[in-house]
Amino acid sequence: MNLTLIASNTVQRNVSSLVELIVNCKPRSYYTNITIGVTDIFGIEFSTTVYAYPEPRYEIRYENGTINNRMMGRLTRNAVNDFTISYNQTVVEQGDFGTYHLCVSNAFGEITVFLNVIPQTKPDMPRNAKIVCETTGAKVQWISSFNGGDMQSFTVTTMKGQYKESESDILADKGENRIHSTYIHNLQPSTMYMFYVSARNRRGVTSSENISCTTLTEHHRSFSIITGSAAAGGITLAIVVIVVVVLLRRFKKRDNHERNSDRDNHMRTNEDASNYTTLAACHLLNIPSSYAKVRNPNTTLSNLKP
């Protein structure tokens, strides 16, 4: 850890200096129990990370306490207090399988990492499998176990009754004790299925316990669709009602305007018709039309004489 030291006095202010802070500590390791599966082809090879300061000493021993000189070790410094310890052994015999103690120490303490060397086997069974069923699908989750010393992969098998319904795509291993999951599609509603997870490597296959699950009924999904459709339908209906009301008001105003126009035209027509009647009567009686229209508008035909 790097720290900045700042000092001041009456002569000069804010004089700084970079100081490296190193904490002494005994060795620590994230993994204290390591299991590796080996063959006579690949041999033994493993590594682990250790945190310590000052630099630690290390050696690997048999269970009886004697030092193992057949494994070759190497220490790599990653940081001032971060180290990687690696071991390898090319030739493996039957007597090399067993448990070893990796002892790491410095002036402040010691730690022991247990190394279990076993022949490669098929993977351990996937554990803690869980199923969550939906209407036409299901989510499957599990935790990976020891891979048997070889690279493993996973598949999920779906059973319907006594018959195999489907098998998922191959899923890669994320590492030991890690959560894995996948989703199974194309299931039927209201149907009970059986699921199990298989772990596979070159040495064999192991499977988890069977877990049953019943998919949801169709109306669960239909209900959400109907609810959404009803909401959309309500909005659409409100828009239609508003448009109809606006159009009706517009047509009503136009109709009232046309009625008023017709009434005004009718009154002008009656006035014109009365004028024509007066002119016709004046012509028959040889009376000047200006007299009938201007001189005495209240005069009727019965009061007029030729």
Q: Residues of 1-38 as b/e, b for ≥16 C-beta within 10 angstroms? A: eeeeeeeeeeeeeeeeeeeeeeeeebbebeeeebbebb
Total H helices, total E strands in the chain: 2, 19
Per residue of the chain (306 residues), give pLDDT as tens: 666 777 777 777 777 777 777 789 999 998 899 998 887 677 899 999 999 999 999 999 999 999 999 999 999 999 999 999 999 998 888 888 999 999 999 999 999 999 999 998 999 999 999 999 999 999 999 999 999 988 999 999 999 988 999 999 999 999 999 999 999 999 999 999 999 999 999 899 999 999 999 999 987 555 455 555 556 666 777 787 787 777 777 766 666 555 655 555 555 545 444 454 444 444 444 545 444 444 444 444 444 444
| Beta partners for residue 288, in sequence order | none
pTM greater than the 0.85 cutoff = no
Structure tokens at 270: 């009656």
